[in-house]
């Protein structure tokens, strides 16, 4: 029975490298690849005078739909860039609303491997900026691979 490899995709050079690496690994293993793009909607600040009941600005449902469509377009663009022709493996794309690190850990449940890219931050910068890859390697329910971003 073929396995599953989950890869985080955000369109960055690091995630493109991770996507290509994961596709090669999936081809070697005869596994299917699940490309996951996490997105989160952060509504605009409510408007109103101090002491008054704040009212949401604009069309919340429309804004949410637009954000989701933009996230899906980002995912499809990343996949098209990595695979200009038909991918050599079974590929499923998933758009997940939520924190990227938590979404990847959840999507990796039952997978054989989870792959993420790393922009190469380390030390203090990594601690201050947070790290999806760091969270995934510490919390993934399966083996994890971190692919470093290619040098420009």
- Domain 4-148: top CATH class: alpha beta
CA distance 44 to 75: 23
Could you read off the pLDDT of 18-44 as tens digits, one per residue? 999 999 999 999 999 999 999 987 766
At residue 76, what are phi and psi to the nearest 5 degrees?
-65, -40
pTM: 0.82
Name the residue among 116, 111, 110, 112 with its Cα closest to residue 138: 116
Could you read off the pLDDT of 114-134 as tens digits, one per residue? 999 987 655 555 544 448 888
At residue 144, what are phi and psi to the nearest 5 degrees?
-130, 145
Domain residue extents for the chain: 4-148
Q: pLDDT at position 129, please?
A: 43
Crossing angle for the helix pair 132-139 and 100-107, to the nearest 10 degrees: 30
CA distance 93 to 82: 13
């Amino acid at each position: 029975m073929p396995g599953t490899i989950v890869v985080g995709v955000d369109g960055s050079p690091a995630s493109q490298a991770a996507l290509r690496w994961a596709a090669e690994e999936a081809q070697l293993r005869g596994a299917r690849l699940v490309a996951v793009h996490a997105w989160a909607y952060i509504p605009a600040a409510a408007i109103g005078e101090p002491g008054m009941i704040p009212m949401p600005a604009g069309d919340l449902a429309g804004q949410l739909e637009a954000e989701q469509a933009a996230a899906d377009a980002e995912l499809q663009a990343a996949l098209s860039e990595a695979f200009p022709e038909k991918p050599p493996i079974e590929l499923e794309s998933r758009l997940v609303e939520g924190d990227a690190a938590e979404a990847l850990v959840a999507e990796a449940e039952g997978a054989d491997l989870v792959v993420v890219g790393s922009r190469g931050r380390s030390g203090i910068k990594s601690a201050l900026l947070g790290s999806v890859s760091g969270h995934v390697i510490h919390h993934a329910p399966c083996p994890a691979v971190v692919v470093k971003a290619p040098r420009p």
